[in-house]
Every structure is written in structure tokens, then in C-alpha cells.
């Protein structure tokens, strides 16, 4: 059942566009790179914030994270009462839906270990991002994580910022379908709201995407061995050039690359 509320949800109703399997890339990252965080959580509560017009991605999130932690509980929060009402028939084992926004007013004052907010802040103004991050961080578990990102309609290009409860933003991840990839910077139109308007000369994220493009071009001869080998070599090249790339080949082979936030954060 939907949780009872006494305060108005914080946020704005978004378009709510979604598709099955659209968020598979970020879910794969949560179940892989963030598996230790989920396993260590005292309360394995995960929030799908702003799941959209249909709740399919919340169902997928629960199912994928159960491979990491069988007792994970996913709560889908939406600011639109009609969307919550439409989702309630799917509530069940480890999955519930409630009216809510960035304030994360969950029953019993519970604090989630992960909040996934995909394609939500994209529809806000850039100057609203920091306030939304701050509010969500204040409601997370002490070791909690907010994932704020954007992807295309079919999930082939995605980018997200990892925002920790204590440290704030710590990294940017780009995840791409490598087959048919022209340039890594093709993801630019899917950058999170905090960065999408900063992809201009003089900004760090513009330099980062340019470095990826340059390395991708230089590694073109490896295309004969497949796009995956070319991508791995690309990431190794930018790391060797001094970019603070996180993670290793296991993630890179999936078409991912994660870089420390300081390398891409907006200029003052």
C-alpha cells in the first residue's frame, strides 16, 4: 500500500517516459561495482526515485539487486499520485510504491542505502541540482549513495554521478553500447544535468570527453579484434595519460568507464 503522508512531496512532476530494460546499465553497475555497499548495509533499502509513468524499472531494479542481496527491498517513489495508484497492483515481495519526492519521507524514518534517480533531474534547471542532492544526502543511510543520471530511450548510452551521503559527488560513470560506437563523446547529450551544459571548451568534462575521443581514434587499429578490445585500450590510454580512472577491466569490458568527480566537476 502507499505510505500515508502529511507533507507535500518535494519536486516537480516529470514527463515520466520509460521503457523496459532502459536502466539496465546503471542497474548492472549497482549490482557490480556497488555490490559491497549493498551487502554491508544494515538495512538493504533501495529507492527508485521518480520511476515514471510505468513501474517496470522498479520491478527490474528489485530483481537485479536480489542477485546481490536476497532481502533487498525496493520502494518506488513518485510525486504523481496517479502513477503511484497505477503501480500498486505490482507491489509485493520486496517491492512497494509510495507518494514522495526528494525528501524521501519513508515510513518509520528509514534511510535508504541507495537512491536511484535516473532521468529525473535532467528535467530540472541546473541551479536546482545541488539543492536536490543536498536534500537526498540528508536522508540517506550513513554509507548511502545517490545515483543521479540520464540515459537514452533504449538504454544504449548512459551517464551518472555517484553522490555519497558524506562526501558528496565522488565520480562520473559513462556506459555505452560499444557496437556501432562512433565516438565516446556521443554520450554528451545524456550527461547528467550537473554537467550537460558544461560540455564546452574550458570545462573539465569537455576535456574528459575529448580525451576519450582522442584515445578511441588512436586505438582504431584494435577494432579488428572487436569494439571491446578497442574500448579497453582506450580506457587504459586515458588512465596512462593521468586521468583518475576508477575500477578495472571487469567494468571496462562492459563499455563502462568511471572517473573521479574532481576531474570533471564544473568550474566555479
What's the confidence (pLDDT) of residue 17? 66
Phi/psi for 93 (5° steps) reads -60, 110
What's the confidence (pLDDT) of residue 4? 41
Tell me which of 5-9, 17-21, 163-167, 190-194 is least confident.
Answer: 5-9
Once rounded to an integer, what is the mean pLDDT over residues 206-215?
A: 98
pLDDT in tens, 92-148: 999 999 999 999 989 889 999 999 999 999 889 999 999 999 999 999 999 999 999
Distance of CA 11 to the CA centre of its chain: 18
Closest CA to 98 of 83, 109, 114: 83
What's the confidence (pLDDT) of residue 88? 95
| Helix, strand, coil share of the chain (percent; to 5) | 40, 20, 40
pLDDT above 80: residue 258: yes
Dihedral sign for Cα 30, 108, 140, 16, please. Answer: positive
In a domain, 201, yes or no: no
Once rounded to an integer, what is the mean pLDDT over residues 224-239?
A: 98
Which residues span the domain enclosing 93? Answer: 24-183+244-262
What's the confidence (pLDDT) of residue 5? 42
Query: Could you tell me what percent of the chain has a pLDDT over 90?
Result: 88
Could you tell me the CATH number of the domain that includes residue 144?
A: 3.40.50.150
In a domain, 41, yes or no: yes
pLDDT in tens, 55-91: 999 999 999 999 999 999 999 999 999 999 999 999 9
pLDDT above 90: residue 8: no
Rounded to whole angstroms, how far apart are CA atoms 41 and 46? 10
At residue 7 the predicted structure's pLDDT band, cuts being 50, 70 and 90, is low
In a domain, 208, yes or no: no
In a domain, 191, yes or no: no
Phi/psi for 195 (5° steps) reads -125, -20
What's the confidence (pLDDT) of residue 16? 57
Average pLDDT, the chain: 93
pLDDT above 60: residue 217: yes
In a domain, 30, yes or no: yes
In a domain, 221, yes or no: no
In a domain, 126, yes or no: yes
What's the confidence (pLDDT) of residue 225? 97
Query: Could you tell me what percent of the chain has a pLDDT over 70?
Result: 94
* Side-by-side strand order, sheet with 73-78: 95-99, 73-78, 45-49, 114-118, 145-151, 157-164, 168-176, 256-260, 245-246
In a domain, 45, yes or no: yes
Rounded to whole angstroms, how far apart are CA atoms 260 and 268? 17
Supply the pTM of this predicted model: 0.93
pLDDT above 50: residue 151: yes
The total of structural domains in the chain comes to 1
What's the confidence (pLDDT) of residue 9? 73
pLDDT above 50: residue 2: no
| Alpha helices, DSSP H, located in the chain | 24-32, 35-40, 56-65, 81-87, 129-139, 193-196, 204-218, 227-240, 249-252
Residue 10's contacts (CB-CB under 8 Å, 6 or more residues apart) are 101, 102, 103, 135
3-state secondary structure 141-189: CCCCEEEEEEECCCCCEEEEEEEECCCEEEEEEEEECCCCCCCHHHHHH
Q: CA of 35: how far to CAs of 40, 64, 72, 86, in Å?
A: 9, 11, 12, 31
Amino acid at each position: 500500500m502507499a505510505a500515508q503522508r502529511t507533507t507535500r512531496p518535494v519536486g516537480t512532476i516529470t514527463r515520466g517516459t520509460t521503457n523496459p530494460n532502459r536502466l539496465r546499465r546503471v542497474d548492472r553497475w549497482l549490482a557490480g561495482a556497488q555490490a559491497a555497499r549493498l551487502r554491508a548495509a544494515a538495512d538493504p533499502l533501495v529507492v527508485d526515485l521518480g520511476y515514471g509513468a510505468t513501474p517496470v524499472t522498479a520491478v527490474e531494479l528489485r530483481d537485479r539487486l536480489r542477485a546481490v542481496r536476497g532481502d533487498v527491498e525496493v520502494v518506488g517513489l513518485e510525486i504523481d499520485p496517479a502513477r503511484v495508484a497505477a503501480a500498486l497492483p505490482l507491489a509485493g515481495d520486496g517491492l512497494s510504491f509510495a507518494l514522495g519526492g526528494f525528501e524521501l519521507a519513508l515510513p518509520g524514518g528509514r534511510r535508504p542505502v541507495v537512491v536511484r534517480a535516473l532521468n529525473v533531474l535532467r528535467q530540472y534547471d541546473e541551479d536546482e541540482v545541488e539543492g536536490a542532492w543536498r536534500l537526498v544526502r540528508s536522508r540517506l543511510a550513513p554509507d548511502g549513495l545517490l545515483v543521479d543520471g540520464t540515459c537514452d530511450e533504449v538504454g544504449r548510452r548512459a551517464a551518472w554521478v555517484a553522490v555519497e551521503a558524506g562526501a558528496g559527488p565522488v565520480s562520473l560513470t559513462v556506459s555505452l553500447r560499444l557496437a556501432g560506437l562512433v565516438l565516446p563523446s556521443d554520450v554528451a547529450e545524456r550527461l547528467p544535468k550537473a554537467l550537460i551544459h558544461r560540455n564546452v571548451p574550458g570545462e573539465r568534462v569537455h576535456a574528459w570527453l575529448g580525451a576519450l575521443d582522442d584515445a578511441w581514434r588512436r586505438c582504431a587499429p584494435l577494432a579488428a579484434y572487436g569494439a571491446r578490445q578497442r574500448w579497453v585500450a582506450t580506457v587504459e590510454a586515458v588512465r596512462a595519460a593521468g586521468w583518475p580512472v576508477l575500477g578495472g577491466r571487469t567494468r571496462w569490458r562492459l563499455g563502462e568507464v568511471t572517473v573521479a568527480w574532481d576531474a570533471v566537476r564544473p568550474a566555479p
